[in-house]
Every structure is written in structure tokens, then in C-alpha cells.
Amino acid sequence: MRFRGSPEAAARRGTVLYYHGFGGDKGRCEPYMTALAGAGFLGVSLDAAGHGDRRLADFDVIFEPERWDTDFEATETDFLKLIDDTAAEVPSVVDDLLARGWARPDRAGICGRSLGGNISYAALLADRRLRAAVSIVGSPEWTGLLVGARRGGR
């Protein structure tokens, strides 16, 4: 988490959730957190489901490059589940930030790169309190279904 002054003061400007790319972790987001804080925002970087501090024990097996060629459908399903699981967590993250005074319901946004960009799109469906989204090298078009995101959220 990065901010200038206090988290409460930065939250008045806006709180931005930031998600990393596939295979990465929240630590790779430091340059973006610094830029957000420099612009007066509260930046919060998070590990996507199955990544970083909660990396799947069998991540390297599930997402082994050859598996994408030999069993694309199963690998894609596992990949989409990471997006869906992470997006489904966003309402709880926003709830927690609101309770701490580190977000305002009218000034919450989300951003991400690659996998994080896909999560950003899905999170918009999971939590309607998100007022802005930026997807860097992410796409809202998936061939699979995102079950949690289709629930409608808040």
C-alpha cells in the first residue's frame, strides 16, 4: 500500500486496487504504487488468487507451457478460475478498505496489467462501487465463463 500523507487523506482523492500480471506478485507493482501515491491516490497492490504469498503449490504444473498446447481447455479453465476467484474477492477488499476509512464508495477504482487487466474487467461485474478501471494489456473477451462475476455483485 502506498500513499502520501495519511491513507485517509489519500482515500479522499481516490483508492486504486492494482493487480499484477500472470505469474507475478504484488511486489512487482511498486513503481505503479509510487506513481499512484505521487498523484495523491491511495494505491493498494494485491496478490491475485494462486499467486504471490498464496501461490498454488502446483502452479508450475498447472500452468506448464506445454500444457497450454496439449490440454488448452483445462488450462484455460484453470486460468479463468484465477480471474474469477480474484474478482469475487474484490467486494470484501473494498468493504475492508471502507471500514478502515481507506476508501470512499464514490472514489474506488481498479487497475491491472495482463492478468490484472483481466481481473479489472471481471471486478467491475463483481463490485459496482468501482468507479474507474484501467486494463493494461488485458481483455474483457474470454472464451470461458466467469461464474462469480456473473453473480452481479454490489
**DSSP string covering 5-33, please?**
S-HHHHHHH-EEEEE--TT--GGGGHHHH
pTM: 0.89
Residues in the chain, pLDDT under 50: 144-154
Of 127, 117, 131, residue with least CA distance to 148: 127
Structural domain boundaries of the chain?
A: 7-151
Tens of pLDDT, residues 91-107: 999 999 999 999 998 99
pLDDT of residue 142: 63
Q: What is the CATH number of domain 7-151?
A: 3.40.50.1820
pLDDT of residue 140: 74
